[in-house]
Amino acid sequence: MSKIRLSICFLVFLSVFTTDTYSQDVHFSQRLVGDRQLNPSFTNRFEGNFQVISAYRQQWQSVGVPFTTGSFFFTKKFKTSIPVLEWFAGVAYANDQSGDAKLMMNQFQLNAGASYRYSKHKFTLAIQNGWVAKSFNQSGLSFPSQYDRNTGGFNESLSSGEVFAGENTSYYDLSIGAMWETEFGNDWKLTSGLSMNHLIEPKESFFDQSNQKNRGVGGQFLLEKQLNEKLNLHPYMSYYWARGASEMLLGSAVSFPLEGFKKIDELKPFLYLRTGFDRITDAFVIGSRASFSKFDLGLSYDINISELELASNYQGGFELSLIFTAKNPKLKNIRIPCERY
């Protein structure tokens, strides 16, 4: 039975490289990480000199070899002679490993952009240059054509019937993003973003055939409402669409300070629903962020509610993130010496 399971999983993984289905991008459930993964302009959404983000995600451990994803972001801001204009640049790295086929992806990205402030508005544009390398391992896997009826099992010495161009592939990837931040009323803030991913639709296949990665479009919307002096509401929605795949994350967080608690400055619990149009609703995302000094720690869990719960027993994905933000240095008071003394 284990080899049958291996065969099924392997065929599912390889299906992302055929001309009839389309591969899925790396994604995270936590907003602060997911927005930056899809939209490079969001890498500049922080107050400080530079920011470092690390994130780790593990899912589907209950139904086989788990999928694991790790990601890293570094962004530095650069002031200009124009007070309302600033530049920013950074690097990002992601590693994704999927199941029995040992399908591995390494993604390197260079992000750069600029932000401009006008009154209560802030506009940001950014470009993302990426290099993606993917590989898989056939050893220890079995295929339907290797089923031996004489023994009632799989025989690895039989031909797999599969013809691969190789176990490695790589390509250049290009994405752009824009963000608009504004304030209205006395206590409302709005952040909205638009991204276009895989602009040049690079070839992505382990077979000797042309299979392009589909261009995708994403949108992000975040409201911040101050309910009172100690409580803020953060409704959120993001949507991503590419031919053959879509995803919507919808929900809200609340934030409040922990007065008198020395270790944690602010707590921000959140609840999101992963759903979309013309697709199943597959998970609740529940978690919280905790801010202390220059750090921000996030912990979340995806509770699977799709039909796969029969196999997963409602278990989904565990996600952890840590953010460090270096604050802008404060100017010291300058004293002009008096010549008389």
pLDDT band of residue 307 (cuts 50, 70, 90) is: low
H helix or E strand, kind and range, residue 3 = helix 2-14
| Cα gap 18→68, rounded to integer Å | 23
Q: 311 φ, ψ to 5°? A: -95, -35
With 60 as the cut, is the pLDDT of residue 154 above it? Answer: yes
> What are the residues whose beta carbons fall under 8 Å from the beta carbon of 36, sequence distance 6 or more?
42, 43, 53, 73, 92
* pLDDT mean across residues, the chain: 83
232-236, 242-246, 291-295: the lowest-pLDDT one? 242-246
Amino acid at 124: T
**φ/ψ (deg, to 5) at 296:** -140, 120
What is the structure's pLDDT at 4? 37
d(CA 304, CA 139): 31
Q: Supply φ then ψ for residue 11, to 5 degrees.
A: -65, -35
pLDDT tens for 87-128 read: 999 999 999 988 666 788 999 999 999 999 999 999 999 999
Question: In a 3-state reduction of DSSP, which class is residue 235?
Answer: strand
Judge whether residue 5 has pLDDT over 50.
no
Whether the pLDDT of residue 326 is over 90: the answer is yes
Q: Name the DSSP class of 61.
A: G
Which structure tokens are listed for 225? 């409402």
**Is residue 77 within 8 Å of 87, Cβ to Cβ?**
yes
No. of H helices and E strands in the chain? Answer: 3, 16
Q: Give Rg (Cα) of the chain.
A: 24
User: Of 36-40, 218-222, 270-274, 337-341, where does mean pLDDT reach its minimum?
Assistant: 337-341
Average pLDDT over residues 79-88: 94
Span 10-68, pLDDT tens digits: 334 433 333 333 455 777 899 999 999 999 999 999 999 999 999 999 986 655 677 89
How confident is the model at residue 315, as a pLDDT? Answer: 65
Instruction: Kindly provide the b/e burial profile for residues 249-268, where b requires at least 16 CB atoms within 10 angstroms of the residue's own CB.
Output: bbbbbbbeeeeeeeeeeeeb
Which pLDDT does position 312 carry in this prediction?
54
Cβ within 8 Å of residue 252, ≥6 positions away: 233, 234, 235, 236, 270, 271, 272
Q: Is the pTM of this model over 0.85?
A: no
Residues 6 or more apart in contact with residue 233 via CB below 8 angstroms: 223, 224, 225, 227, 252, 253, 254
Q: What is the pLDDT of residue 43?
A: 96
pLDDT for 13:
40
The rounded distance, in Å, linking the Cα atoms of 232 and 189 is 11
Rounded Cα gap, residues 207 and 101, in angstroms = 15
Instruction: Give the long-range contacts of residues 9-13, CB within 8 A, separation 24 or more.
Output: 9/64, 9/65, 9/99, 9/100, 9/101, 10/100, 10/101, 10/141, 10/142, 10/143, 11/143, 11/144, 13/98, 13/99, 13/100, 13/101, 13/103, 13/136
- CATH of the domain spanning 2-326: 2.40.160.40
Give the single-character DSSP code of 23.
P
Beta carbons of 23 and 173 less than 8 angstroms apart: no
**Angle, vertex CA 224, rays to CA 218 and CA 225, nearest 5:** 145
pLDDT, tens digit, 9 for 90 and up, residues 176-214: 999 999 998 878 999 999 999 999 999 887 776 677 888
List the domain boundaries for the chain: 2-326
Q: How many residues in the chain?
A: 341
**For residues 239-248, average pLDDT:** 88
